Amino acid sequence: MGTTGKKSPSLSYADAGIDLDRYDDFVGDLEGLMRRTHGPRVIRNAGGFAGLFRLDFNERLFKRNYRDPVLVSCTDGVGTKIRLAQKLGVYDTIGIDLVAMNVNDLIVCGAEPLVFLDYFAVRSVDKPMMAAVMRGIAAGCKQAGCALIGGETAEMGDLYQPGDFDLAGFAVGVVELQRMISPKQVRSGDVVLGVGSSGVHSNGYSLVRRIIDHAGLDLSRRYPDLDTERTLGEVLLTPTLVYASQMLRVQHAYEVKKVITGMAHITGGGLFDNLVRALPGTVDAEIERGSWPVPPVFGFLKRHGNVTDEEMARVFNMGIGYCLIVKPAFAASVAQRLRRMRLKVAPIGVVKRGKGRVRWA
């Protein structure tokens, strides 16, 4: 059959669900937000394809040179905590979570966070929602002392359902080779200090959401056995604590002696599966039951989900968001320094000869 001679309509990116004008408008608004996180080592590169950061800065006031630098990098997301943010329409806190989940991993080897980048994948640009997330990311970077120097916003109309999005973060830091913390430094007799979490942080939310559905819990309700001032949703969206600045300050307080022999960020897998990563195969960490206060949110989730103690400890941080392994003579002074920085700290265990395990005392 021949053609009718009728011209086909002219198709555009907007017809495919991608609005370039709206995208450009959102990206253009981010530059001021990013600049708030920049220090003197960031090199302005507006419109460039990559962010620029000087490892050394030679002006006398800002001199920060490295003799034998090791770059440290990591990537992480916030998991299904995004679903709770969607249900409640509260998006700024998960931006802080995103930064925290990355930099808290990065600092366990003693590294200083330098730069952060984000990957934001959406069905279509929702400027108010995305701006709130980015404000949280910028706030997290300020807390961590790192610069937000770039990222990617991917608008993928046919890959996500309406309202769906995903987040990933990427962090880079640096540590002097001679100051790097590794498991081989841990010795029998060292003390394990547990640093308090702000709540669930950003792990275990698939189980959290299952418990909410199973028990018919109301995210907008205040439960007296949980919190009399905040709703369940507000408690569960409490952002992950960013431990970077406090851990760096403690390390800098002991420039001569290597007082901290190990550190661990307590994320998915709980205390046992994460602290073990800081141990050599020649010692065990013995943890004392009841040596720290467990935040009410964990008992609340346990009761309403009928979750076993073993499963709770395997999935959640149970009130310990970070651990330091410290030489015994300095354990009290390190704990006191961290408390002065408004962190909750408790000696929760001791290192003994063993086979690289974490176990109850």
Task: For 68-96, write each residue's pLDDT tens digit.
Answer: 999 999 999 999 999 999 999 999 999 99
Question: Is 109 in the same domain as 210?
Answer: no
Residue 33 is part of a domain; what is its CATH number?
3.30.1330.10
Q: Do 103 and 83 share a domain, yes or no?
A: yes
The pLDDT of residue 163: 87
143 and 237 both lie in a single domain: no
pLDDT of residue 1: 46
Together in a domain, 199 and 81: no
Q: Are residues 174 and 202 in the same domain?
A: no
**pLDDT given for residue 308 in this prediction:** 97
Domain count, the chain: 2
What pLDDT, on the 0 to 100 scale, is given for residue 24?
66
Looking at residue 271, its pLDDT comes to 97
Report the pLDDT value the prediction gives residue 182, as an integer from 0 to 100.
94
Task: For residues 197 and 171, state if they share a domain.
Answer: no
Q: Buried b / exposed e across 139-177, counting CB within 10 Å, b at 16+?
A: bbbbbbbbbbbbbebebeeeebeeeebbbbbbbbbbbee
- Same domain, yes or no: 251 and 314: yes
Q: Which among 247, 240, 284 has a CA at the least distance from the CA of 266? A: 240
* Count of beta carbons in the 10 Å neighbourhood of residue 132: 18
**What are φ and ψ of residue 124, in 5° steps?**
-155, 160
| Domain-ending residue, one of 179, 206, 227 | 179
End-to-end CA distance of the chain: 84
Stated pTM of the model: 0.89
Which ranges of the chain have pLDDT less than 50? 1-2
User: Domain containing 264: what range?
Assistant: 183-360
Q: Are 330 and 193 in contact (CB under 8 A)?
A: no
pLDDT at 15: 58
pLDDT tens-digit readout, 47-74 = 777 888 888 776 655 566 788 999 999 9
